[in-house]
Amino acid sequence: MSQSVTFECVSKSFEHRGRTVPALDDVSLTIDPGDIYAIVGYSGAGKSTLLRTVNALERPTTGSVFVGEKEISSLRGKSLLSARQRIGMVFQQFNLLRSRTVYKNIAYPLRLAGLSESDTIDRVEELLDFVGLSDKALQYPSQLSGGQKQRVGIARALATRPDVLISDEATSALDPETTLEVLDLLKRVNEEYGVTVLMVTHEMDAVREIADKVAVMQSGRVIEEGSASSVFSDPQTGTAKRFVASVLRHRPDPRSLSTIRKVHTGRLVEVRVGDRESNDPFLSRITREHGVDFNIVYGGVSESKDSLFGRLTIELLGAGPDVDATIAALRRATDVEEVAA
Ligand SMILES: Nc1ncnc2c1ncn2[C@@H]1O[C@H](COP(=O)(O)OP(=O)(O)O)[C@@H](O)[C@H]1O
Ligand SMILES: [Mg+2]
């Protein structure tokens, strides 16, 4: 069964060499059951610390963390151990036991949970099949590729049938092709087992491919949050804009802009396209209505899990008042930003 994860006013600071290091500053977030939720942000933003409060590897200094109805941050001892079996974790560095076979790595949490030998065998075989490694059961981690190691890590995290999977930069140590395979596997975990997935990543492509929602963190705070497509198509903060721009080449950077300007000396505007609810050809309609011509000089449209979104930079050509009226009409139809001359 999938569960929600709720952070209520979570703050955390570390004592380090006699100084107080703030890591989380009043974070409140709700992850709906069954969602794939991504957390992005620069190094040191507090992403790992936030994730680690979900299975109480870190405890908030103040505030609470709930998985479903259960307040994880207040559990101790046996009740914490049993709650942790409902929360799987996947790590960047895989964290496999080097001296044990693939089979034994996956069986390890099942033995801790007290499962019988024959149930363990059945469950491990099922998991090996799910992650596509049935033929590697008796190999050791050192005999596997990075992507295979991470698939073992995911199988191990799923062993005790968790409701929530937390994943800290699971694909950061992998090459781009293997990254896609592992992301695909996380998506299948979510779809086929209904597991809520909370993942930290610095790859916005990963977010774009599989996330339902995304939060952007900076200095221990959540500075932006929403559906992946809304954060991509309309980022509000500087940090989110930089993250989005790093993967989507929808807006010209200063260098492209100076190339554009060598030829296109008219008024330039950026218009949002792609995520519209009708097929109204607003660009040609509005410019025609005002007797203005346009050139498309830059732009792109991308796909997220559930929608299309993009931006076009266009040059408007016509008499000054007609161009002004065109920009006003475009603003009524979509998001428009004028590009400084
Ligand atoms: N165990 C710790 N002891 C002291 N400081 C820590 C510890 N863990 C994290 N921090 C500090 O907390 C802040 C957030 O760290 P972290 O959650 O790892 O960020 P991120 O995962 O976004 O890179 C950083 O300033 C980091 O140095
Ligand atoms: Mg981290």
Residue-level pLDDT at 177: 87
Lining ligand 1 with CB less than 6 A are 14, 16, 21, 23, 41, 43-49
Q: Could you give the CA distance from residue 103 to residue 124 in angstroms, rounded to a whole number?
A: 7
Which of 12, 15, 43, 48 most suits a substitution to test ligand 1, by most atoms within 8 Å of the C-beta?
A: 48
Q: Does residue 246 register a pLDDT over 80?
A: no
For 276-297, give one letter per residue: b (16+ CB within 10 A) or e. Answer: eeeeeebbeebbeebebebeeb
Q: 92: closest CA among 3, 206, 1, 246?
A: 206
> Would you state the structure tokens that stand for residue 289, as one six-digit string?
């209505």
Residue-level pLDDT at 221: 97
Average pLDDT over residues 177-191: 93
> Which atom belonging to ligand 1 lies closest to the Cα atom of 12?
12
Q: Could you give the CA distance from residue 89 to residue 167 in angstroms, rounded to a whole number?
A: 6
Q: What is the pLDDT of residues 18-29, one digit of tens each?
A: 999 999 999 999
Name the pTM for this structure.
Answer: 0.83
Q: What is the DSSP string of 75-110?
A: --HHHHHHHHTTEEEEETT----TTS-HHHHHHHHH
Q: Does residue 230 register a pLDDT over 90?
A: no
CA of 184 to the centre of ligand 2 (A): 22
Which of 12, 14, 15, 57 most suits a substitution to test ligand 1, by most atoms within 8 Å of the C-beta?
A: 14
Q: Could you give the CA distance from residue 209 to residue 20 in angstroms, rounded to a whole number?
A: 38
Average pLDDT over residues 280-287: 94
CA of 15 to the centre of ligand 1 (A): 11
Residue-level pLDDT at 271: 93
Q: Which range is most confident: 203-212, 260-269, 272-281?
A: 260-269
Any residues with CB less than 8 A from the CB of 4 and at least 6 apart, and which? 30, 31, 32, 33, 66, 67, 68, 196
Integer CA distances (angstroms), 55 to 168, 171, 177, 233, in order: 13, 20, 30, 33
CA of 64 to the centre of ligand 2 (A): 20
Place of tokens 């497509």: 229
Lowest mean pLDDT among 93-97, 156-160, 196-200, 246-250: 246-250
Q: Which ligand is nearest to the CA of 47?
A: 1
Average pLDDT across the chain, whole number = 93
> Would you state the structure tokens that stand for residue 51, as one six-digit string?
């994730």
